[in-house]
Amino acid sequence: MRPRRLSATTTVLVLLCLMYGITYIDRVNVSTAASSFQRELLLNNTQVGLVFSAFAYPYLIFQIIGGWVSDRFGARRTLTVSAVIWAVATLLTGFVGSLGSMLCARVMLGFGEGATFPTATRAMSDWTAQGNRGFAQGITHSSARLGNALTPPLVVWLMTLVTWRGSFIVLGLVSLAWVVAWVSYFRDDPCDHPRITPEELEALPSYADRKKTEKEPVPWLLLSRRMLPVTVVYFCYGWTLWLYLAWIPSFFLHSYRLDLKRSALFSAGVFFGGVLGDALGGVVSDRILRKTGDLNKARRNLVVACFLCSLLSMVPVLFLHDVTWVAICLSLGFFWAEFTIGPMWAIPMDIAPRFSGSASGLMNTGSALAAIVSPLVFGYIIDRTHNWVVPFLGSIGLLLAGSIVAFWMKPGEKLSIAQLGETPAANVVA
């Protein structure tokens, strides 16, 4: 008997999962290698924080641009060009010789990765049925957190084999290999794929209907107003995310005087909590939707509950001194924060399915802005106070704020210019 082959829709989802994992490995590998390049390049903690955040400046800008480009020109071309840029940037990081060249490589990485998640959302919008969108977003972001979890031990292992510079070169080559697989397999229109089945096409949204309206300009003002509370909530989430991604390995290394290998293992354990949270959050969100038919309960209410659970899990970190218990609390905090990812990334597709790339780009500017500010603030506080626990207070406060603002998100109300009594011309920015 022949082994059963993956369906076309499943294979596309697997490719996107690989992309999410690789992009996060390429963006957080500097966290694990920080102690090595910090000594070699003679950097202080504030400068290391600048290296961490440099990625986020172009990443912030190209969220919206990348989302618009993917809506206009398709996910296949957009993601191919973006991936080539981020792969080359990762390779070049292995050849830096100063703070300036390191910053240039990180900026280039942010430029390449800026369009990836909005573009992936555009691809999922065309290749995923509505009832499975929470799962699709959850499992892809779970792959990103798996990348986070694997990065510390993986980079340490590569550093022992080929030095920290060689680790970036190897990871850049892996990224280029993914580009080849993506451009060879993916098609913007599922109907054009040679392995798509009639059963799969019947469950997918009509790509032909979207093509009829894709030349229409994006109603930016109206879309921005609808997405603003979503963006604010995602900023509150992103602050905690980037605190974890940028500083957790250094937190264990310096706050508890662990060696590099033990620090990597503790960090990986914390990030595995995020892997579980991402995977389960999407499943639970879709299950609530199927049971209640209420998008507000399935998306918004779930986000509020998980934000509160996350901040409560982080409070003990302020008072505990045992590294094992601290790691457990941080893992729980990250688990609940990541539980929100499936419902959060499904919201742009729920609110504006025709402009899901642009809508998700608007949302992700929140996390991208947090990626700029959070690592810098953490590094500055550490340099001034030498206390590695104080920055967690900011995460606790912002998670509480995010749980309040979330009530202004309305995923159950699809964007409709006609329903709101506004004309497209009044809301379109040329």
* Digit-coded pLDDT (tens) for 217-272: 778 888 889 999 999 999 999 998 888 877 777 777 777 776 666 766 777 778 88
Q: Convert the pLDDT of each residue in 275-305 to its tens digit.
A: 888 888 888 998 998 899 888 999 999 999 9
Instruction: Give the pLDDT of residue 420.
Output: 41
Could you tell me where the DSSP H helices lie in 94-206? 99-113, 116-127, 133-185, 198-203
Q: How far apart are CA 60 and CA 234, in angstroms?
A: 13
Describe the crossing of helices 220-250 and 392-405 by its angle, rounded to 10 degrees.
Answer: 150
Of 242, 171, 224, 185, residue with least CA distance to 394: 242
DSSP 4: P
Describe the crossing of helices 260-292 and 302-314 by its angle, rounded to 10 degrees.
Answer: 150
Instruction: Give the pLDDT of residue 207.
Output: 60
Confidence of residue 210 (pLDDT cuts 50, 70, 90): low
Instruction: Give the pLDDT of residue 201.
Output: 81
- Separation of first and last alpha carbons in the chain: 58
Of 101, 88, 124, 116, residue with least CA distance to 12: 124
Mean pLDDT value across residues 394-421: 81
Tokens found for residue 195: 């392995």
Sign of CA dihedral 34, 35, 36, 40: positive
Q: Convert the pLDDT of each residue in 123-155 to its tens digit.
A: 888 888 767 777 887 788 888 878 877 887 888
Q: Convert the pLDDT of each residue in 378-407 to its tens digit.
A: 777 878 877 777 778 888 999 999 999 999
Of 83, 85, 77, 84, residue with least CA distance to 189: 77
Mean pLDDT value across residues 190-203: 82
| Alpha-carbon separation of residue 51 from 42, 88, 93, 183, 297 (angstroms) | 13, 18, 11, 31, 39
Instruction: Give the pLDDT of residue 215.
Output: 57
Mean pLDDT value across residues 106-129: 86
Helix (H, G, I), strand (E, B) or coil at 324: helix
Task: Give, for 224, the enclosing helix (H) or strand (E).
Answer: helix 220-250
Instruction: Give the pLDDT of residue 31.
Output: 79
Q: Convert the pLDDT of each residue in 31-47 to its tens digit.
A: 778 878 888 888 887 78
Of 108, 398, 355, 80, residue with least CA distance to 239: 398
Confidence of residue 428 (pLDDT cuts 50, 70, 90): very low
Residue extents of the structural domains in the chain: 9-427
Tokens found for residue 127: 């290749």
Mean pLDDT, the chain, rounded, equals 83
Confidence of residue 27 (pLDDT cuts 50, 70, 90): confident
Residue at token pair 């998670």:
399
Q: What is the CATH number of domain 9-427?
A: 1.20.1250.20
Helix (H, G, I), strand (E, B) or coil at 95: coil
Flag whether pLDDT at 312 surpasses 90.
yes
Half-sphere exposure of 18 (CA within 13 A, CB side): 16
pTM above 0.75, yes or no: no
What is the four-CA torsion angle of 335, 337, 339, 340, rounded to 10 degrees? 180
Give me the percent of the chain exceeding a pLDDT of 70. Answer: 91
Nearest-Å Rg of the Cα atoms of the chain is 21
